[in-house]
Amino acid sequence: MRRRRRSASGPRQCARTAGCATPIAAPSTAGSLRAASGAAAARRGSGCPRARRQRRRAGGGGPRRCRGERWRRSVAWCGAIFCGAYIAIDDKSLDGAAQLHQACAQYGPARLVPRGSDASAMLADVCASVFTRRKDRASRMPSATQHSGAEVEDILAEASAVQTIIGHSIAGRQTRGASQRLADIYNPATGEVAARVALGTTQDVADAVAAAQAAFPAWADTPPLRRARILFKFKELLDQHHDDLAALITREHGKVFSDAKGEVTRGIEVVEFACGIPNLLKTDFTDNIGGGIDNWNLRQPLGVVAGITPFNFPVMVPMWMFPVAIACGNTFVLKPSERDPSPSLLIADLLRQAGLPDGVFNVVQGDKEAVDALLAHPDVQALSFVGSTPIAEYIYTEGTKHGKRVQALGGAKNHLVVMPDADLDQAVDALIGAAYGSAGERCMAISVAVAVGDVADKLVPRLAERASSLKIRNGMESDAEMGPLVTAAHKAKVEGYIAKGVEEGATLVTDGRGHTVPGHENGFYVGGTLFDNVKPDMTIYKEEIFGPVLSVVRVHDFAEAVALINAHEFGNGVSCYTSDGGIARAFARQIQIGMVGINVPIPVPMAWHSFGGWKRSLFGDHHAYGEEGVRFYTRYKSVMQRWPDSIAKGAEFTMPVAK
């Protein structure tokens, strides 16, 4: 019997046994066949009745004769493994069928399910293939024709109910929590519901904060070197599961797989930075400042801190926060986006595998109810947020009102200036990648091209040609350049902005509305859209669209370009393409933006620097990660000391001074 390995995707809660905390693992990626065997491995050793029954059945490499209700239960369990949140049984796409085939091939014979095949027959065939790992058992298995379509559809529903609820991670345990509210999680490429997520209640947040509060004293007393060693192990596990995380991102967010891998890499870089915490916490010491007195400083952890993160970077943005926070000795509660929550549970499981004590890192899924509970909870000392400006302002106002330290990173309207002396080929490449990468769902996406002088006459035709020929695909396809938007509602919002631009008089050069992808007609796709002759008073210039829409604004000279950008309410990122060193230097000094690129389209700072904008792109005094992150997650303390043999006799009634 082949030994089964533990799942890469982390445990899930058993939904079939009331009150049972038995983890059920789901496939975390098509590329990781480990995930398919994880459900059984995660259940082994469990004490729940269902797990004991399954162990008895699995004794000979597979269950004994499956007849009647026993067959129904077994097939439902198998269907939960292979056809749950991460591989939809009724997915008509060829890549979904190939994923199913790959997973089944690990155990025994399976045939490639043809595109468009009946979902009921697919489930029965797949389950039969899995259960017949030994050829001598093949004759004892039920065939697809022995069961009616209605019966197997019932099994499908049962399997889906078991598998597709994504819950929380509190005190090292996966849990559904107290909430009865659920939200759908979509595969944006197909437009189908891939899973459901439990929306946390105030009680769920209280449980997570209580777990973090209980873990804080011991974790804060853990030497920084030991904390760093756990982070080093976590970093190794992230490297091993790099593609697993990327596939989860692509499946629930929609960005192309190569872009998702880049997101994971940038998150890992912050973990690498946090591994240097023994050095980062070093402070100043002044010997004998006077009269036998020494003065030295400390940076101490705050306690329980929280992070509220957006859908567009479900791995990277949380890693801007929690690695630095826990390295500094804090405990952490993460509230990820409910649109793509699965990566957060895999991260929690990898931290547990790395040796992080229970309660140091917790995850609560949810919506505004969970957010408000974190803002109001008296034991949460600090809160980090990344998202839109209206929500960032709300988070900052409410958090500070409740006495919390807050860093809230808001929206953006990022410009790229193209000077007449710029290398036009490089500028076009930069604009296409920065405007349409990740379908424009980046807070650092370039959404405005500022064309100086007559450069627009050459720039716009090249942009139009490239925008209209983008390879828009399911993000898991190897040649995809751009994937779908995250939800149907967001697609409608972006298309509404395009209509508004036309209504207000901008020249629509390339229209991305109505774009469809063969085989994924229900996906949330918008094609690359290009506007020319956009004016500063137009809605598409003033507001953050968060979609694949690029606006070209024409200006006469460099001074007008700088004035245009500085007048905008947002101040997140900006770039200038030029061959003139004097222009580059003047631009960097004069522009009122937090992150500046010179011939770099998306100037996201590296992990040992810090990320943050100006104006209404940042609420609070601290930027994210880097040394700014260490300052945010610690309190500064000054200590002055002297010893009895150096203390003069008698009371002193004057201001102490160095003597």
Q: CB of 532 within 8 A of CB of 510?
A: no
The structure tokens 């976590």 sit at 234
Q: Supply 242's token pair.
A: 């790099």
Q: Supply 428's token pair.
A: 């076009």
Which candidate, 309, 312, 230, 317, places its Cα nearest to that of 270? 317
Q: Give 18: exposed, middle or buried? Use CB within 10 Å, 0-12, 13-18, 19+.
A: exposed
Distance from C-alpha of 595 to C-alpha of 215, rounded to nearest angstrom: 37
Q: CB of 351 within 8 A of CB of 334?
A: no
Amino acid at 4: R
Active-site residue identified among 78, 127, 275, 443:
443
Where do the H-state alpha helices sit in 402-536?
424-436, 455-468, 488-503
Cα distances (angstroms) measured from residue 252 to each of 350, 392, 394: 19, 24, 27
Can you count the helices (H) and strands (E) in the chain? Answer: 22, 23
The structure tokens 């819950």 sit at 167
For the CA atoms of the chain, what is the radius of gyration?
28
DSSP type of residue 431: H
Q: Supply 12's token pair.
A: 């899930």
Q: Supply 95's token pair.
A: 């890549």
Distance from C-alpha of 619 to C-alpha of 625, rounded to nearest angstrom: 15
* 3 state SS of 482: strand
* 3 state SS of 30: coil
Catalytic residue status for 443: yes
Contacts of residue 559, Cβ cutoff 8 Å, sequence gap at least 6? none
Tell whether the torsion through CA atoms of 159, 164, 165 and 167 is positive or negative.
positive
Concatenate the DSSP letters of all residues of 236-286 into one string: HHHHHTHHHHHHHHHHHT---HHHHHHHHHHHHHHHHHHTTHHHHT---EE
Give the catalytic positions in this structure: 443
